[in-house]
Amino acid sequence: MANESNNSEPAASTENRREDMASHPTYYVPEQSKWPIIASVGLFLTMYGAGNMLIDSQTGNKESSAHWILFLGGLTMAYMLFGWFSNVIKESRSGLYSPQMDRTFRWGMSWFIFSEVMFFAAFFGALFYVRTFTVPWLGGEGDKGISGHLLWPEFQNQWPLLTNPDNSLYPGASEVIDPWKLPLLNTILLVLSSVTVTIAHHALRENKRKMVIGWMFATLVLGFSFLFFQAEEYIHAYNELGLTLAAGIYGSTFFILTGFHGAHVTLGAIMLTIMLLRILKGHFSADNHFAFEAASWYWHFVDVVWIGLFIFVYVF
Amino acid sequence: MSAVLEGHTTDHHHGPAKGLWRWVLTTNHKDIGTLYLWFSFAMFLFGGTLAFVIRAELFQPGLQIVEPNFFNQMTTMHGLVMVFGAVMPAFVGLANWLVPMMIGAPDMAMPRMNNWSFWILPFAFAMLSSTLLMDGGGPNFGWTFYAPLSTTYAPPSTVLFILSIHMMGISSIMGAINIIATVLNLRAPGMTLMKMPLFVWTWLITAFLLIAVMPVLAGVVTMMLMDISFGTSFFSAAGGGDPVLFQHVFWFFGHPEVYIMILPAFGVVSAIIPAFARKPLFGYTSMVYATASIAFLSFIVWAHHMFTVGMPITGELYFMYATMLIAVPTGVKVFNWITTMFKGSLTFETPMLFATAFVILFTIGGFSGLMLAIAPADFQYHDTYFVVAHFHYVLVPGAIFGIMAGIYYWLPKWTGHMYDETMGKVHFWLSFIGMNLAFFPMHFTGLAGMPRRIPDYALQFANFNMLSSVGAFLFGFTQLLFLFIVIKCIIGGKKASAKPWEGAEGLEWMLPSPAPYHTFTTPPEVK
Ligand code: HEM
Ligand SMILES: [Cu+2]
């Protein structure tokens, strides 16, 4: 029967399933799986370890073993990601997935990206709020300016904010990053990489595998160069400009936005690397390669976020 | 059609695996729904215990039982546990059980991720609760964790609190994505969007709200963590940041969050009232549009929680009028429920009792909400017990009664047995009396100026507080009766037919009771 979806023998029943699907399609419902519980344990160890590391450093606990918990959590998560994805890839390649399953993956990935958009929206919102309201009010503007004026009479409204209200507690940066140097270069790199990944996708659809590999390679080179320059920029900011996390609200918003963006580029680059490896192993076909598409969607998403960053964090 | 369905439900024989591992490894939406519901009930009792500490302390004026700092930990944990541990998982549990059966799907769209969404929660709450035992105590800044109380002046355990919120967020987002994918992609042929039961509709919209605002909550706790551990100044004016920024971002999440806790209850009630009025729901289409409008409006009213924080006057006015707009679609809903009952052949079995009480008492909560929405009046009410009365009226007879109505209504389908009707009625009436006794007097103490989150109070509030405490204990202990009724119904009782409620409608009632382990592995045809 088509509705017997026994996990232990997917390959054997593939043929039957395919025939059955033609008459009345079934949706693949996996039997029990060990991956989610491993994922929960891994996530817990990671969070618990990381949390206790922060607490121990805050309270000055010298005998902390929290980093071991974090390490264990990281290993568990890596094991889980590898195992779970291998499982899914195997199922997909043995033909268990119907076009309906493909639509599930598409919906899933789209809404996941939407959730990421909202995550960044919180930080962009914070940036806009402090620029339009907080800093002017602290500088004494408008009805709400009175208290700022009383507390810090010297404080001047300006953006980028280089002198903070209490500049001894939060020493401001001496200078901010020049947008027309590294950031502009990085913008070009990232936009180009969005183009190259699209070319690779078109090539995959036409089954030109050599071309796919070439363009994917180019994409990765561009992506990793972006990360390299971003790291370069951070070092420059910390060592020469005094632009740090503790440099007041400018540093805070700058690093939270560029930092999370950088983390997402890293994740996207890892996804694309795995896609390249899978292509090298002969995975995917002209009309069945959603994993690849998902990774490229993600890549476009980080690209769009960067454009927002470039405009609102660096240029204006 | 039912003949067709039964043919299909008997020919597959994959039952559940045996033993404890069944629950750990399961990918079955019914198993996971059960897990969610039991977890939620455990959290309901845990959160209730914390509330007992609060009400015991407030039984009389003066510091009686606990230290003020511990009292603050109790109010904080009570709120967090009830919101994130009791109400939200209960609705996800109901969705897991019901959405696939209602739309004719074989399971949730992503069954393994479904398991992960659930199993994150016990770990997250273990971590959150463990903070109570740490040096410096647990979170003591209220469930709204306003900065700088939750940053500069917070106990060290706050870091774990933040990370546990992250875990709950991951769980909710994955759960919501799963529900959306299921509803959009797994409906049986012929089950068009406008044929879906309202419970499915309200959950679809709730899931959208979850995906839109849980990441914002993640963002705000991340900024807190940065301020605490990495020296940033998001919420510190000395560095050019702003504690009010915290409140804006928090309530951008927080107001949609309160609708996340009520929309699925709207769906439950919209299923139950027609069933016991033996009339189709009045105004189905308007219900769908009203739900969507409420969801949309919930994004643009957040600062009604911040009228006293010192917003510019234009802000006060805008948020006041925008908030009042929500009463319009909410009114549409209440109108439709009442019109559905009008001239119906009403009977009042336990689910209907809870649903009827829902309509009446939730409306009271809506009215006090309208009072709070009037910005100049809110200057008086804000941070008093009037607010506590308001949100308990929308959450206890709203969200919680909605959940209970749903559990009584679908319990025969889940267990194959009827629950004990007499006991169910007793449970309802004791809950009804207990909760009104607990929360109605809070309107008066609040209007008279008693502040919330305070372990001691002026003598003039003594009588009302004593009444509140008595009511709270009555309500709390009554829930043990609920536990008993549910267990009794699982173990045995009168056999339930496939459709134990004469007026019930929907695909789930065409399945046998108890519903087989796998249902609709081949989609039914919906006409
Ligand atoms: C007509 C609909 C509603 C209106 C106009 C309304 C209005 C308000 C206002 C203005 C406040 C802030 C009061 C203050 O802090 O001074 C408030 C608080 C609150 N409302 Fe509502 N509300 C409505 C419905 C709901 C619903 C449906 C829920 C949940 C199911 C809810 C849950 C809450 C909660 C939890 C708080 C308190 C948050 C806190 O400060 O801890 N409200 N409401
Ligand atoms: Cu609100």
DSSP line for B358-413:
HHHHHHHHHHHHHHHHSHHHHHHHTTBHHHHHHHHHHIIIIIIHHHHHHHHHHHHH
- Chain A CB contacts of B115 under 8 Å are 33, 36-37
Say whether both A85 and A116 belong to one domain.
no
Between A279 and A62, name the one with better pLDDT: A279
Closest CA of chain B from A265, distance in Å:
18
Report CB contact under 8 Å: B176, A111.
yes
A55, closest residue in chain B (CA to CA): B156
A293 phi/psi in degrees, rounded to 5: -60, -40
pLDDT value for B198: 98
pLDDT value for B15: 72
pLDDT value for B11: 40
pLDDT tens, position by position, B163-195 = 999 999 999 999 999 999 999 999 999 999 999
In a domain, A196, yes or no: yes
Long-range CB contact pairs, A270-277, < 8 A, 24+: A271/A295, A271/A298, A271/A299, A272/A197, A272/A216, A272/A219, A272/A220, A272/A223, A272/A296, A272/A299, A273/A220, A275/A216, A276/A213, A276/A216, A276/A217, A276/A220
In a 3-state reduction of DSSP, which class is residue B417? strand
Say whether both A79 and A111 belong to one domain.
no
The DSSP letter of residue B278 is T
Say whether both A59 and A174 belong to one domain.
no
- When CB atoms are compared, the residue of A30, A54, A122 closest to B111 is A30
Residue closest to B110 by CA, chosen among B1, B207, B40: B207
Q: How many domains does chain A have?
A: 2
pLDDT value for B455: 96
Rounded mean pLDDT, B243-268? 98
Q: Which atom of ligand 1 is nearest to the CA of B258?
A: 29
In a domain, A70, yes or no: yes
**Residue at a domain's end among A96, A123, A149:** A96
A125, closest residue in chain B (CA to CA): B249
Query: Which domains occur in chain B, in start order?
Result: 2-510 (1.20.210.10)
Say whether both A72 and A125 belong to one domain.
no
Residue closest to B480 by CA, chosen among B437, B433, B427, B418: B427
HEC states along B458-507? CHHHHHHHHHHHHHHHHHHHHHHHHHHHHHHHHHCCCECCCCCCCCCCCH
| Distance, CA of B333 to CA of B290 (rounded, Å) | 7
In a domain, A280, yes or no: yes
Q: What is the mean pLDDT of chain A?
A: 91
| Distance, CA of A183 to CA of B206 (rounded, Å) | 39
Q: Which atom of ligand 1 is nearest to the CA of B384?
A: 16
In a domain, A46, yes or no: yes
Residue B4 has pLDDT above 90, yes or no: no
> The pTM is what?
0.94
| Distance, CA of B329 to CA of B358 (rounded, Å) | 17
Say whether both A206 and A278 belong to one domain.
yes
pLDDT tens, position by position, B204-236 = 999 999 999 999 999 999 999 999 999 999 999
pLDDT tens, position by position, B271-328 = 999 999 999 999 999 999 999 999 999 999 999 999 999 999 999 999 999 999 999 9
Say whether both A111 and A184 belong to one domain.
yes
| Distance, CA of B247 to CA of B380 (rounded, Å) | 19
Asked if residue B295 lies in contact with residue B204, where contact means CB atoms within 8 angstroms, the answer is: no
Residue B96 has pLDDT above 60, yes or no: yes
- When CB atoms are compared, the residue of B185, B232, B244 closest to A100 is B185
pLDDT tens, position by position, B120-160 = 999 999 999 999 999 999 999 999 999 999 999 999 999 99
B402 C-alpha to ligand 2 centroid (Å): 20
Cα angle A137-A139-A145, degrees, rounded to a multiple of 5: 40
Tell me how many residue pairs between chain A and chain B have CB atoms under 8 A apart: 243
Asked if residue A134 lies in contact with residue A150, where contact means CB atoms within 8 angstroms, the answer is: no
Share of chain B above pLDDT 90, in %: 95
pLDDT value for B156: 96
pLDDT value for A9: 36
- Chain B CB contacts of A251 under 8 Å are 232
Q: What is the mean pLDDT of chain B?
A: 95
Q: Is ipTM beyond 0.85?
A: yes
The pLDDT-based confidence of A293 (bands split at 50, 70, 90) is: very high
Residue closest to A312 by CA, chosen among A231, A258, A267, A234: A258
Rounded mean pLDDT, A303-307? 98
**Residue at a domain's end among A96, A130, A148:** A96
pLDDT tens, position by position, B478-523 = 999 999 999 999 999 999 999 999 999 999 999 999 999 999 988 9
| Distance, CA of B216 to CA of B175 (rounded, Å) | 17
Report CB contact under 8 Å: A3, B521.
yes
* CB-based pocket (< 6 A), ligand 1: B 144, 258, 261-262, 304-305, 323, 326-327, 330, 366, 369-370, 372-373, 378, 381-382, 387, 390-391, 394-395, 398-399
Q: Give the count of beta carbons closer than 10 Å to the beta carbon of residue B421.
A: 14
**Residue at a domain's end among A96, A121, A148:** A96
Report CB contact under 8 Å: A246, B231.
yes
Q: Which atom of ligand 1 is nearest to the CA of B366?
A: 1
Report CB contact under 8 Å: B156, A103.
no
User: Which pair of structure tokens corresponds to residue B507?
Assistant: 């695909």
Asked if residue A2 lies in contact with residue A16, where contact means CB atoms within 8 angstroms, the answer is: yes
Report CB contact under 8 Å: A249, B240.
yes
In a domain, A38, yes or no: yes
Say whether both A87 and A132 belong to one domain.
no
- When CB atoms are compared, the residue of A104, A245, A252 closest to B110 is A104
Say whether both A119 and A65 belong to one domain.
no
Residue closest to B332 by CA, chosen among B368, B284, B364, B373: B284
Residue B12 has pLDDT above 70, yes or no: no
Poorest-pLDDT segment among A11-25, A195-209, B479-493: A11-25
Say whether both A112 and A56 belong to one domain.
no
pLDDT value for A164: 97
- When CB atoms are compared, the residue of A143, A244, A249 closest to B241 is A249
Closest CA of chain B from A24, distance in Å:
7
A157 C-alpha to ligand 1 centroid (Å): 35
| Distance, CA of B182 to CA of A78 (rounded, Å) | 28
- Considering only CA atoms, give the Rg of chain A: 25
The pLDDT-based confidence of A25 (bands split at 50, 70, 90) is: low
- Chain B CB contacts of A99 under 8 Å are none
Residue A11 has pLDDT above 90, yes or no: no
In a domain, A16, yes or no: no
Poorest-pLDDT segment among A20-29, B115-124, B374-383: A20-29
Share of chain B above pLDDT 70, in %: 97
Say whether both A180 and A74 belong to one domain.
no
User: How many CA atoms lie less than 13 Å away from B296 in the CB half-sphere?
Assistant: 9
pLDDT value for A22: 39
A123 C-alpha to ligand 2 centroid (Å): 21
Say whether both A186 and A118 belong to one domain.
yes
In a domain, A65, yes or no: yes
Closest CA of chain A from B360, distance in Å:
36
Residue B443 has pLDDT above 80, yes or no: yes
Report CB contact under 8 Å: B181, A111.
yes
pLDDT value for B1: 36
pLDDT tens, position by position, B383-442 = 999 999 999 999 999 999 999 999 999 999 999 999 999 999 999 999 999 999 999 999
User: Which pair of structure tokens corresponds to residue A64?
Assistant: 């902390």
Residue A14 has pLDDT above 50, yes or no: no
Positions of B marked catalytic: 78, 107, 143, 171-172, 255, 257, 259, 270, 304-305, 330, 333, 452
Asked if residue B468 lies in contact with residue B439, where contact means CB atoms within 8 angstroms, the answer is: yes
pLDDT value for A133: 95
In a domain, A24, yes or no: no
- B22 Cα distance to chain centroid: 27
Mutate to test the interface with B, among A21, A24, A27, A128 (most CBs of B within 10 A): A27
CATH number of A142's domain: 1.20.120.80
Say whether both A166 and A85 belong to one domain.
no
| Distance, CA of B38 to CA of B179 (rounded, Å) | 20
The pLDDT-based confidence of B18 (bands split at 50, 70, 90) is: confident
Domain encompassing residue A62 = 32-96
A133 touches chain B (CB under 8 A): yes
* Burial of A242: CB neighbours in 10 Å, binned 0-12, 13-18, 19+: middle
Name the residue at shortest CA distance from atom 40 of ligand 1.
B305
